[in-house]
């Protein structure tokens, strides 16, 4: 029987750090190793997988296609390793953890995983920031946020841990009836919101007139505007409240295009508390349906 190759987690951790931090020197500073030691570990990993993993363009270092494939596996293998170590060490978790959520996801995630995490880890200060997905991605790149849940403009993105599909639905007050000869009164978040774009694209594609009658940054204000019969909007099912009903083609509204959503974090930058929250979020996502994908597709 042929022996299987083992990929040491220290080599995988170094590879992740080089890719996510953008170079051998930065990875070495975080991991406490010299640049030659980091280079040696990368070469050893390339020997084990029998293919180049990194390519340099000018001063920038990028993963090769094989490196991109390995990165997804490496992040998951190191995450599971760290989860197992935390379980047996039982170390106290403290510090500040900054998480970013789109406004539509603040409600569902806060009520479940995040509140459970705070209850189990009272010494961790959790800072929750709700914003447009494009802003959350920017703040992740600039290290202003530790973990984000955000929509994905492309299928392959840095720092991606999990991705899944969300189907937006049209929502209105139960008593609201749309007049077919009048513009659809829309409620939406600010310019740049993916749900706002989906509504406008769908209505324009169906040659259905519309007008924005409510704009606001928060999900609760948008929900109240819908419940009061001011507007219709696109929501996730998790944010559809009692007193609302789903609208569809029978109401003269076209189907909305689905959205790809992802869970993102920089593994080398995360504290033990952050890695625990990622594991909690992953477990929560995997429990809600088969649409959650562990690897980028």
Residue 57, pLDDT > 90, answer no
β-pairing, 244-247 vs 169-173, is antiparallel
Residues 175 and 244 in one domain: yes
pLDDT of residue 247: 95
Residues 155 and 178 in one domain: no
Q: Write the burial class of residue 84 (CB in 10 Å: 0-12 exposed, 13-18 middle, 19+ buried).
A: exposed
User: Which of 283, 275, 265 minimizes the C-alpha distance to 136?
Assistant: 265
The rounded distance, in Å, linking the Cα atoms of 93 and 85 is: 13
Which string of DSSP letters, residue by residue, matches 55-99? Answer: EEETTEEEE-HHHHHHHHHHHHHHHHHHHHHHHHH-----EEEEE
Tens digits of residue pLDDT in 6-23: 999 999 999 999 999 989
Assign residue 247 the CATH number of its domain.
3.40.190.10
Quick check: is 126 in a domain?
yes
Helix 24-31 / helix 9-21 crossing angle, nearest 10 deg: 130
pLDDT band at 107 (very low <50, low <70, confident <90, very high): low
Q: What is the mean pLDDT of the chain?
A: 88
Q: Which domain holds residue 35?
A: 9-86
Residues 150 and 207 in one domain: no
CA Rg value for the chain? 22
Which residues, at least 6 apart from 293, have a Cβ–Cβ distance to it below 8 Å? Answer: 162, 163, 164
User: pTM for this one?
Assistant: 0.77
Residue 291, pLDDT > 80, answer no
How does DSSP classify residue 154? Answer: S
Quick check: is 296 in a domain?
no
pLDDT band at 90 (very low <50, low <70, confident <90, very high): low
Lowest mean pLDDT among 128-132, 170-174, 182-186, 202-206: 128-132
Do residues 159 and 140 lie in contact, with contact meaning Cβ atoms separated by under 8 Å?
Answer: yes
CA dihedral 41, 46, 52, 58 (to 10 degrees): 0
The rounded distance, in Å, linking the Cα atoms of 234 and 222 is: 10
β-pairing, 95-101 vs 124-130, is parallel
Tens digits of residue pLDDT in 237-283: 888 899 999 999 999 999 999 999 999 998 888 888 898 899 888 88
Residue 92, pLDDT > 90, answer no
Residues 74 and 210 in one domain: no
Residue 233, pLDDT > 80, answer yes
Q: How many domains does the chain have?
A: 3
Residues 42 and 186 in one domain: no
Residue 190, pLDDT > 60, answer yes
pLDDT band at 294 (very low <50, low <70, confident <90, very high): very low
Quick check: is 220 in a domain?
yes
Quick check: is 294 in a domain?
no
């Amino acid at each position: 029987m042929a022996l299987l190759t083992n990929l040491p987690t220290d080599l995988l951790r170094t590879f992740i750090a080089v890719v996510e931090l953008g170079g051998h020197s930065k990875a070495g500073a975080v991991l406490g190793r010299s640049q030659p030691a980091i280079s040696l570990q990368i070469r050893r990993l390339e020997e084990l997988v029998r293919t180049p993993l990194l390519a340099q363009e000018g001063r920038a270092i990028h993963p090769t296609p094989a490196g991109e494939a390995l990165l997804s596996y490496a992040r998951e293998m190191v995450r599971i390793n760290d989860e197992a170590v935390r379980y047996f060490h039982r170390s106290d978790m403290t510090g500040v953890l900054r998480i970013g959520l789109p406004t539509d996801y603040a409600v569902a995630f806060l009520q479940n995983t995040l509140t459970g995490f705070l209850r189990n880890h009272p010494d961790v200060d959790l800072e929750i920031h709700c914003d447009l997905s494009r802003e959350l991605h920017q703040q992740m790149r600039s290290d202003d946020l530790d973990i984000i849940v955000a929509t994905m403009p492309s299928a392959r993105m840095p720092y991606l841990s999990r991705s899944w599909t969300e189907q937006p639905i049209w929502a209105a007050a139960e008593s609201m009836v749309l007049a077919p000869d009048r513009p659809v009164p829309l409620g939406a978040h600010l310019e740049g919101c993916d749900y706002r774009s989906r509504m406008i694209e769908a209505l324009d594609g169906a040659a259905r007139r519309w007008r924005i009658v409510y704009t606001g940054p928060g999900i609760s204000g948008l929900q109240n505007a819908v419940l009061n019969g001011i507007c219709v909007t696109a929501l996730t099912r998790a944010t559809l409240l009692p007193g609302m009903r789903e609208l569809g083609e029978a109401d003269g509204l076209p189907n909305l295009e689905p959205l790809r959503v992802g869970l993102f974090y920089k593994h080398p930058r995360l504290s033990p508390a952050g890695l625990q929250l990622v594991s909690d979020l992953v477990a929560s996502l995997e429990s809600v349906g088969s649409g959650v994908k562990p690897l980028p597709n």
